[in-house]
Structure 1
Amino acid sequence: MRKRAFVKAILAASSLLLFSCSGKRVIDETDVPSHHVIITYLTTGNKPHDSGTSEMLEKLNERLTKLVNAELVIYYIPWNNYQTNYNLKLAEKDGSIDLIGTATDWLDAWKNASLGNFMPLSDDMLKKYAPKTWESVSKEHWDVCRMNGSIYLMPEDNYTQWTNHGFMYRLDWARQAGLNGVHSWEDLTKYLSFVKENKGVIPWDSDGSSSTFQATGYISSKSDFIIADGITSTNMFGTRKSNLKKIYSPFLEGRELVDYAKLMREWNLRGFWKEEILTNNMTGSNDNREEFCAGLTGIEQHHTQTWYTQVYNKLKKQVPGADSGFFWFGEESQNVVYQTITHGAMAVSAASKHPERALMVYDLLRNDKECYELINYGIEGVQFRRNSSGYREPVPGSQGIVTNYWWGRNDDLEVRDTATAWDVFDEINAVYDKCKIDYPFSQIVWDLSKVSSELDAVSDIYGQYMGNICYGQDPDPEAYVAQFRAELKEAGMEKIIAEFQRQLDAFYSNGK
C-alpha cells in the first residue's frame, strides 16, 4: 500500500494536459498512477538465450515499479533482414510496443516519423514526463529532433563514440608484409595478398552483409562524399564536402564506384573470401569478428568504436604478440564526419497505450544511476564488478546481458570498462579531431513523401546489384555498374536528386 501511495503521489504531481498523435487528451490524476503497466522497448539485435538478461530485468523492474509503477520488457528485431522487419513491426501500430530504438542514419527514423509510426511529443509533455532528459538536452539539439514543430526523437547526444566504419587489421602482419600499417585501399590489397599467401587463413571471412558500408567506405576514401542521413539506409545520396549546396549520388555518376567494383572483382579472383560469400550469412557458420580475435582471419569491418572497445584488447589477450590497427574509411582523403546526435535515439510508438509512462521509464533509464547501470551493464556483483581502479569488468563465469541500449547512453553515468583500450581511444580521437567536420545537415528533415515510390524502387535495385558489386561476382564490373546505373535512372534516381536539391536550396535560402 505504501508503494502504491508513493507512486501515486509522484505521478499525480506530473499529470497535466498531454498531446497524443490524435490530438489533445486530458490525463486524470488517477488515470496514470493508479495501475501497474508494462512498457515494451523495441531494439535491433538477436534475443539472448541465457538467463543473464532476464535476471537483470527482474532487478530493474523492482526499481521501475517502485518509482513509476511500470516494468520493462524487451522486443528484439533479429539482425537477419533487420531493416525490413523493423519497419514492418513499426507499421503495425497495434499498441504492442512503446519505446522504439531508432536512428536517422541507419534505421529510417524520419521516414517512420513521416509515416505516422512515431508519436509527436510536445515540449510540455517532455518537460513533465521526462524532466531530466528535457533539461539535459540543449535547445539546439531538441530542434534537430523536430519535424513540423513537434519533437519525435530523444537524442543520444551526451555520449562520445565514433561509429564511422573501417577495417580492423593485424598490425603485426602488416609490418611483416613491409607496410607501415594500412592507410589506403592499395595498402589493404597488399596486406590481404600477404595474408592469403603466408598465413593459411581466409583473408576476410565475411558473411556478405556489409555492402552498404563497404561501398560508401571506398567512395568516401577516394573522394569528399558526405552522406545525407535520413533519406535511405543505403547511403546513396549526399553532397561533396567541397560543395555542400549540391546533392549528388556517386552511385549514379563518377568513377569511384566503377573503380571500386573493379577492385572487388580483383579481390574475388584472388580468393580473399569464400566462394559462397553471398550465402555465407544464411548459414550462421562463421563469426568473422570472433575469428579475427582468435587470429583466424585477416580483417574485420565495423565501427571505430567496436575496434577500441571490443576487439583491440581481446585480440592481444587471445593471440600473444598480436596487434591491430584500424584503416578508417575516408583516411586517404581525410574525410570523416562526426555523427549526428540522432545516430542513436529513442522514439515513442504512435500506438503506445502508455506514452506518459514510457517517457518516465526512459527518463530513468537515461538518468537514474541504478537503472542506467542495470540496463547497460547488468547487476553489480553478478554480471559486473569494479576493480581497484574503479573500472568495470565482468564477473568470471557470469552470464552477460543483451539489451542493445544504444539510444540513451550518458557520459555522466558511464563506467569505463577494462575491455576498452582507452589509450587507443584517446589516440584515434586526436587523429579524427584534426580533420573531422560536424554533420552539416542535422537540422534538415528530408521530406520523402513526393519521391517515396522512387526511393523504394532505387533501394530495391541497390539490393539486387550491390552485393554482386561488393564481392566481385560479375566478370565485367564496369559494364555491370553501367547496367546498375541505367536501372537507377529508369527507376527515378534523377527525380529523387532534383527533389532533394529543391529541399536543400530551401534550407540555405532560409539562412542556414
Structure 2
Amino acid sequence: MRKDKRSFTTIVSMLILVLFLGACAGKNNDGNAAPSSKESGLSTAPPASSAASGGESSRKALEPVELSYYFVGTPQKDLPLVEGEINKILKEKINATIKLNLIDWGSYDQKMNVMIGAGDAFDLMFTAPWSNNYYKNVEKGALIPLDDLLTRYAPTLKSTVPDYVWNATRVRGKIYGAINWQIIAMSYGFDMRKDLAEKYGLNLGSINRYDDLEPFLDKILKGEKGVTPLQFVNTYDTFNGEAPYFGMDTIGEDASPGWIYLKDADTKVVNQYASPEYKDFVTLMHKWHEKGYFRKDNASISDDTADVKAGKYGGSIAGTITPGVESQIFLRWGVHKVVKQLSKPLATTGRAIATMTGISSTSKNPERAMMFLELINSDKKLYNLLSHGIEGKHYVMVNEANGVIGMPEGVTPETNGYAPGTDWMFGNQFNGYYISKDDVGNWDKIRQLNASAERSPLLGFNFNPEPVKTELTQTNSVIKQYNTALISGSVDPVKMLPEFLDKLSKAGVDKVIAEKQRQVDMWKKTKS
C-alpha cells in the first residue's frame, strides 16, 4: 500500500507548521514551557519531521552525520545491502547515514558491556530488561534522558505510544528508552514442531500446564533419533521472563529478588526464588533433564541457532505467544510449529518496555539519532527495509492490498540473505507487512489486545535500585551462580535450592525485598 509522495510531503509540511507555531508559543506536549536549546543541551536543528519533508532549506540546515546503531539478532549476509538502501532514505530526509551493527545473540550483552565500560562513542542501541539491561544501563549513565528529544524531534513516536506505556519506561521520572511499539499484553506457553505434533497426536486442548507435555515428550524421546525433545531457551525466558505464567509479576530487573502475586490485593513483595512456584518448576526441570528431554550440556549453551534451524529440537517452553507468532517462527527458523498459550494476556511494566532503543550518552549526535527513531516509526518504507530487506531480493509482494509479502522464487529461510525475523525490535511494528496471508488482520487484533487486556497492578511502577545497590549487586552475583544450573535442570534442587536461598539471605535479599515493598507502598498511595 504505497501513498503518493507529494501528498505525504504536503501533510508532513502542514504538521511541521503546526509544531513550529506551537514551539513559538513556548509550550511542549505536556503544557509546560519548552526549554531553550541552551537549557536542554540540544541543538537548534529543525525537527525530524521538518527534515523529512524534503525541503531544500531543511537539508541545508542539517550538517551530514553518520550514526551507529547496535542491536541483537542472527547475523545477516546482506546487511550491507540493506544498510545502503536505508542510507538513501536517511540522506534525503535527515542528511544522515547509519552504520548497522548486528551482534549475535550469544555475544550481544558482553559486547555492549565492554563498549559501555570503555566509553566507546556510538549513537543507538537495543536495550531491554532482558538484553543489554535497561535498568543497569540507566544506573551506569550509559543512556541519556529522552523526554525533551521526543518532544522536539519525534512527535509521531511520542503520540503513538500511550502515556501509560511511556510511564513504564521512567526511571526517577525520566524516559531513557524509546518504545518499539508492538504487543504489550503477552501470554506465555510453548511451541512444537508441527510435523511431530501431527505424527504423535499432540492434543493442544489437553495441555494446560507444562507438566501435561510429558507423554508427548516421551514419544519424541523414544521415536525420534537425533531429536532432543526440548530446547532450553535461557534463564530470562525460563521462569524469570514469564512471571505471569506463575501468577506473578516482576519489580525492576526481572531476575532481581522481589516479585508480587497478581491476585494479592495487598501487593506483598516476596522472594520468588523461595516461592512454591520456583521450587516446583526447578524440580520439574531436573526431572526432565534426567529423563533426557534436554541436552545434557544445556546449561552451557550460548547459541544453538543452527540446531534449531536443522530441526534438532522438538520444541520449546516459556515462549511468548502472540497473534501470528507461527509465521514469525517460520521466518526466523525455517521450521513450521504449533503453539499453545498457557496464561492469559497481561500487560506489565516488563512487557511494556520489553523492546526499546536507547541513545548512548557517548553519542555526538543525539538529535539526529532521535530523528532516525522518528523516521523508523513513521516511514513505512524505512521500517520494512530494516525489518524485511529489499523488495524483489529478500521478499516479494504477494498481496499489495493487504500488505502480504512472501519469499522470492527459489529463496528459502535458509538461503535468504536477509530475514532477521525481529521486526518487533524496530520502531512501530504496526507499520509492517504481513509475512503470511493467515496473518492479515493481526495488527488490529494486537491493538485491541493491548487496549483490552488485563493490566498488572504494578503497571507503570518503576523501582529505584539506588538505596539497595550494594545488596542487588551481591544477590545478582548469587543468582548468576545458581539460577542457570537450577532452571536448566542440570543440578538436584533438593541439595542446591537450600544452598541458593542461604546464599541469597547472606547477600542481603531481605533488605532488597523490604526496599521494594517500601517503594511499592509509596507508589500505591499516589495512585489512590
**Is TM more than 0.5 here?**
yes
Q: C-alpha displacement at 1:483, in angstroms? A: 0.7
TM-score, reference length from structure 1? 0.80
Q: C-alpha displacement at 1:220, in angstroms? A: 5.0
Query: 1:193 is paired with a residue of what secondary structure?
Result: helix
Consecutive unaligned residues of structure 2, counting only runs of 5 or more, are 1-12, 25-33, 47-57
1:44 and 1:379 mapped to 2: Cα distance? 20
2:241 and 2:206 mapped to 1: Cα distance? 18
Matched, 1:354 2:365: yes
2:136 and 2:459 mapped to 1: Cα distance? 15
Contact 1:46 1:79 in 2 (8 A): yes
Query: 1:169 is paired with a residue of what secondary structure?
Result: strand
Deviation by residue 1:148-207 (Cα, 9 ceiling, x = unmatched): 4433222223x236655432125675574675543222211222112212333434353x
Contact 2:404 2:440 in 1 (8 A): no
The 1:257/1:413 distance shift into structure 2, 3 A limit, reads: closer
Aligned partner of 2:183 in structure 1 is 160
- The AA in structure 2 aligned to 1:43 is F
Aligned partner of 1:198 in structure 2 is 223
Aligned partner of 1:234 in structure 2 is 255
Q: C-alpha displacement at 1:347, in angstroms? A: 1.8
1:143 and 1:428 mapped to 2: Cα distance? 24
1:56-205 mapped onto 2 (5 Å cutoff): 56-95=82-121, 97-104=122-129, 106-123=131-148, 125-157=149-181, 159-160=182-183, 164-170=187-193, 173=196, 176=200, 179=203, 180-204=205-229
Aligned partner of 2:404 in structure 1 is 391
- The AA in structure 1 aligned to 2:83 is L
Q: Structure 1 stretch 270-279 or stretch 490-499: which is displaced more? A: 270-279
Matched, 1:39 2:67: yes
1:238 and 1:472 mapped to 2: Cα distance? 22
Q: Structure 1 stretch 24-33 or stretch 390-399: which is displaced more? A: 24-33
The structure 1 residue matched to 2:329, chosen from 306, 311, 332, is: 311
Contact 2:256 2:476 in 1 (8 A): no
TM-score, reference length from structure 2? 0.78
Query: 1:357 is paired with a residue of what secondary structure?
Result: helix
1:335 and 1:412 mapped to 2: Cα distance? 19
The 1:288/1:303 distance shift into structure 2, 3 A limit, reads: farther
The 1:445/1:378 distance shift into structure 2, 3 A limit, reads: same
Percent identical pairs in the alignment equals 19
Query: 2:351 is paired with a residue of what secondary structure?
Result: coil
Q: C-alpha displacement at 1:112, in angstroms? A: 1.7
The 1:351/1:313 distance shift into structure 2, 3 A limit, reads: closer
Deviation by residue 1:362-390 (Cα, 9 ceiling, x = unmatched): 11121112222222222222322211464
Q: C-alpha displacement at 1:432, in angstroms? A: 8.1
Contact 1:227 1:238 in 2 (8 A): yes
1:318 and 1:115 mapped to 2: Cα distance? 40
Consecutive unaligned residues of structure 1, counting only runs of 5 or more, are 1-8
Matched, 1:444 2:461: yes
Deviation by residue 1:447-500 (Cα, 9 ceiling, x = unmatched): 1112222222222222221232123323x4222111111111111111110111
Aligned partner of 1:454 in structure 2 is 471
Deviation by residue 1:83-128 (Cα, 9 ceiling, x = unmatched): 3443443344332x112222245542233223321112343x3233
Contact 1:167 1:327 in 2 (8 A): yes
2:352 and 2:243 mapped to 1: Cα distance? 23
The 1:170/1:430 distance shift into structure 2, 3 A limit, reads: farther
1:188-267 mapped onto 2 (5 Å cutoff): 188-204=213-229, 206=231, 208-216=232-240, 220-221=244-245, 223-228=246-251, 231-234=252-255, 236-243=257-264, 245-251=267-273, 253-267=274-288
1:140 and 1:337 mapped to 2: Cα distance? 11
The structure 2 residue matched to 1:276, chosen from 297, 308, 331, is: 297
Alpha-carbon RMSD: 4.0
The 1:149/1:203 distance shift into structure 2, 3 A limit, reads: closer
Contact 1:174 1:181 in 2 (8 A): no
The structure 2 residue matched to 1:289, chosen from 294, 305, 308, is: 308
Deviation by residue 1:29-85 (Cα, 9 ceiling, x = unmatched): 89993521001112123443x2x2211211111121111110011223432253344
Task: Report the count of equivalent residues.
Answer: 478
The 1:215/1:154 distance shift into structure 2, 3 A limit, reads: closer
1:363 and 1:434 mapped to 2: Cα distance? 23
1:426 and 1:199 mapped to 2: Cα distance? 37
Matched, 1:472 2:485: no
Contact 1:39 1:358 in 2 (8 A): yes
- The AA in structure 1 aligned to 2:210 is W
1:290 and 1:392 mapped to 2: Cα distance? 21
- The AA in structure 2 aligned to 1:415 is Y
Determine which structure has the larger helix proportion and give its number.
2
